[in-house]
Amino acid sequence: MAAPLRILVFGKQGSGKGTLATRLHQRLGLPHVSTGDMLRESAASGSEFGRRVAAIMDAGELVPDDVMEGVVRERLAAPDAAAGFILDGYPRTPGQAAFLDDLLAPEGITVAVELQVADEVVRARIVNRRVCSSCGAIYAAGRDASADTGDCEACGGEVVQRADDTEEAVDARLAAYAALTEPLLDYYSGRGLLERISGEGDPDAIADGAVELVEGRRS
């Protein structure tokens, strides 16, 4: 029986990691699991632990590490993750990475992929990003008509710029990524598990390269 294919996806906000994770899901048939998905699914489960998660989220509080670990343990034990998964948004610290190693022992993760995009490219993508307030469809100002007219072509809802998509907010998030995520990437690099790929270019070509890297790790 083949070992589970366990993929971590990292990247600055606006790097396209959500797009990459979706394409990996489509091509490899593995569940795309994000931090938000895990929290929402746990809260909706109705379990005692899920009710605790729901209470924290409803109060607008940060989810403590021990609770997040419980959410991760619960989600990755689900039947659809038995053959592997694409994990986006966790871990966020070397301590969480060590927990994940213990949880997934003895095989551990297969590969950690960082999608690299220059800061100026990320900044331009996010500042020009517009989002439908009804269905969540994403558009780019100056490229997509819906972004310029303010009317979503998918559902007719209002297309707006998010409050945290300003240049100042983007700079703060880039600084946080450098401070918090770089040590985590060093953690995986030191274990020979990190692959860095360019996130600039055609999304399908980027996904092709990522699939090739992942399959190479499994063989």
Active site residues: 17, 92, 129, 162, 173
CA distance 198 to 131: 25
How many helices (DSSP H) and strands (DSSP E) are in the chain?
9, 8
Do residues 21 and 88 touch, judged by C-beta distance below 8 A? yes
Do residues 174 and 12 touch, judged by C-beta distance below 8 A? yes
Altogether, the residues listed in the chain come to a count of: 219
Q: What is the DSSP string of 135-154?
A: T--EEETTT-HHHHHSB-TT
Coil, helix or strand at residue 176:
helix
Q: CA end-to-end span of the chain, whole Å?
A: 13
CA distance 137 to 42: 25
Contacts of 1 by beta carbon, 8 Å cutoff, 6+ apart:
none
